[in-house]
Structure 1
């Protein structure tokens, strides 16, 4: 049967289209975070950062090994639970993601890092801060934010040298994150001459702290350090106000250093006594922070928490390493990731041999009229 000239041209064009499609390489990037449960604000914010980076990469277009690359997000929920997190990690391995930018909670990240190591896939976290994460020194584990050693030391220094407080109490939530951060703070504060008058613990689901706070109040601390998340710190602030602990500071790490704390504290006057530490610079002091945040807010209004720019940079780091290696195969590009020298939204990122950032920064903040405000330490 003879084909008309138009049909022949159409068939040729269709064939060219198929050839172009065949040349397009799908490269999967994984994200795991608590997108359900009490920490969902963090998980969704982080996933937004990953999604935004993937959209930006795909809009620019990238060729690796002669093929046009299309990045694709593979997202899983860990509900801040280690068992769910390790299962999700294995799922990403089975799905053959090229890399993962992932985890809010150190208690999830630490066991999950072994899963990624065993399947040879690099994972970058922009939020899990326990130093134990990078202790094995695996070439698959990276962190783009200051760890708890830096945050705990910064808060201890602020306690002793800036506020000149003498007596503090400590509460932790018994998670890898909360207990680890509280331990670092206690060690550094005591080195600086601060007396720890009470050490108490709770759990990461608790909302009633009256018994613990009543016991602590009797010991007359000038501040309480809480190792845990905002979901517990909010009720704690309300109950401190109920007990008349209006002059007692509440210190904490990045787990409480979010705008959501003001909502959960529900107007408690004690919110003004919070001093908290984030790994990294404030948005205003990040090299690309202000412009990036404008774009983020336009895409995801009202969803910003704290970590999303680090997760954005994590994806860009993976893509940069792939580009320099001319391969999306982890075995080929991991050595290029180790030698990263990348100017991101958050900072210039380079890694130590164990996957920690070189020269990480931190920010101390307070709350003024419900807004989180960076403290000028100069």
Structure 2
């Protein structure tokens, strides 16, 4: 089940993260500004957050298999339509609405409740393995999409991705024909005695809103940088394919990084593990701020590796903390509402970076604001160390 969830999440994440490469193709082909090209991504993050409660409630009611089937079909339709798009509103609708809802059905909201039920004592490790699929998909998407676009053009690249998704829909859904119950030995009496939270009860707690703030600030900090990384490197003077390769290689480090920090959270605590990841991300952003010319390859690698190593690395600790605090059959719904903050933050960050560039012709202010957002997120998460009353 964990392997199947990892595979499905990897497919959805790689298709969604490839937009960072398509962004430059849209600028060149349509003449859009960076802010306009970022609009679909920003709308996608808003829709992702707004649809999270619906997806969380849906998986609580109809199960994982049907959600995966729905998500795969929506992603296929969105990719196919994108290949024939010729205006901004079409890209915004297809990517920002259709594909985003589809990817949500192949993401954390669907799989975290399943994994959390199966794993109890090693919940941080299990969630980190699942969430590392996001980083793995992100690492694959940049170089693969860049090669497709360079070789065949962006429309043919979208058609290729649509065909691949269409082939994978049924096999991915078939993995989840049944939902296993947690092993009796895994939960013990502590799990049996745990409170079964409802959304109405959770929303009245201080911890719920601190988690909402953590999700939002972390997404702002991440997406002020991630969507525009390749554009930033190309503007400095680096070759586009080289930049995609460096940043993609750095993103591969997120795979072990996410698993390491998530597993570590089972032993040193969720808060300490997340703070470590925040610190490394900030160092990666600082390296980007120091790059001023295309001969500074070391700084580009340090930025790619530092930022990539901890891309999503806070996620397992934050998500596991949510499952720790609000266990029960309504975890999907509760997690869905909390992750509205993540969608809101990602929308603000990705659009704001493009807007700031259009105003200043530089990403420097956006990267500085990323550091501020990471600091705010770490402070809010550290406040969760006190037991909830």
Common topology (TM > 0.5) = no
Structure 2 length as normaliser, TM-score? 0.28
Structure 1 length as normaliser, TM-score? 0.29
Which structure: greater strand fraction? 1
Larger Rg: 1
